[in-house]
Amino acid sequence: MTRHAYDQALAIAPNALRAPWTRRARDAVILLLALAALVAMAVDLELAPGALMTGFGKLGRFLGEMFPPSSGGQSERILKALAETFAMAFAGTVIAALVALPLGVIGAKTVVSNPALHFAFRRFLDIFRGVPALVWALILVSAFGLGPFAGVVALALADIPNLAKLFSESLENADPKPLEGVRSAGAPPLAVMRFGLAPQFAPVATSQTLFFLEGNFRNAGVLGIVGAGGIGFELDERIRIFAFDEVAFIILLYMIAVACLDTLSRSLRNRLA
């Protein structure tokens, strides 16, 4: 662009390249206020730069100790814990799906058509939908004692309301035409369910359950920190004694396992869809 054309353009539209100074001043003040608020919060939390520096020094040492990762001669025990974590996730998901299925049927608008009942049931599920597995685990560990049992029940309890909601939504979304078709052929109600509804519902529900299995495997990994068994317990123990080469070994193994399960589950879900 020539100088002349530039001057001409600027004369025609003076605000095209830069906003008027009032607007720029306002933006600057807002930005400064936001920054000041963030700094004030950091000061309030006592996030001292000194602590940050020493912490990073320590973290660097930990990371240095992580290599090479080592099983510490306990690879069998670690693999067992990993299997236990998967077992917790799998058992918890299956139990959740089995319990959520009837709840989902009750929650579907097409089954229970009374709006007041429907509303009450949905809100009832909503109350429990917010409670994460970790909070359930804290409660259940103190009720059932340390071990994977509390973890399984915690995962199931956290999933049931969520799965029930998804199940009832997919039941509501089922196309009524196949059902009418089967019914018009003179089929009894059970056959209508089996041949009209199930082929639509089962793939969707299975896919959702698989998705929850993936999430549960991640959750199960941390439940051990509050004493609910599995890999989290082993990790917690080793971090406490600063055995970071073993920590790195477990984390790597766990991340590989998560990636494997995700890939497997995704390919299964793609086949269902």
Give the single-character DSSP code of 194. Answer: I
Q: How far is the CB of 91 from other proteins (least distance, A)?
A: 4
d(CA 234, CA 146): 13
Q: Which is nearer to other proteins, 112 or 131 (CB)?
A: 131
In terms of phi and psi (left: phi > 0; alpha: psi -120 to 50; beta: otherwise), the region of 264 is alpha
Part of the chain binding other proteins (CB under 8 A), chosen from 20-28, 51-59, 106-114, 160-168: 51-59
Of the candidates 138, 164, 145, 139, the residue with the CA atom closest to the CA atom of residue 222: 138
d(CA 242, CA 136): 29
- Interface of this chain with other proteins, residues 58 to 77, rule: CB under 8 A: 58-59, 62
Contact flag: residue 51 with other proteins (CB under 8 A): yes
d(CA 9, CA 96): 67
Q: How far is the CB of 21 from other proteins (least distance, A)?
A: 19
Residue 72 near residue 245 (C-beta atoms within 8 A): yes
- What is the token pair recorded at 92? 């918890």
Q: What are the residues whose beta carbons fall under 8 Å from the beta carbon of 271, sequence distance 6 or more?
A: none
Q: How far is the CB of 240 from other proteins (least distance, A)?
A: 8
Q: How far is the CB of 40 from other proteins (least distance, A)?
A: 9
Residue 226 near residue 137 (C-beta atoms within 8 A): yes
Q: How far is the CB of 59 from other proteins (least distance, A)?
A: 4
- The mark string for 151-190 relative to other proteins (x by CB under 8 A, - otherwise) is xx--------------------------------------
Q: Over the Cα atoms of the chain, what is R_g?
A: 28
- What is the token pair recorded at 165? 């909601």
Nearest 10 degrees: CA dihedral of 107, 113, 118, 121?
-50
Part of the chain binding other proteins (CB under 8 A), chosen from 6-14, 23-31, 83-91, 194-202: 83-91
Part of the chain binding other proteins (CB under 8 A), chosen from 106-114, 184-192, 195-203, 217-225: 217-225
Part of the chain binding other proteins (CB under 8 A), chosen from 6-14, 118-126, 128-136, 184-192: 128-136
Binding-site ranges for other proteins (CB under 8 A): 1, 38, 41-42, 44-47, 51-52, 55-56, 58-59, 62, 83-84, 86-88, 90-91, 94, 130, 132, 134-135, 138-139, 142-145, 147-149, 151-152, 218-219, 221-222, 225-226, 229, 232, 235-236, 239-240, 242, 247, 251, 255, 258-259
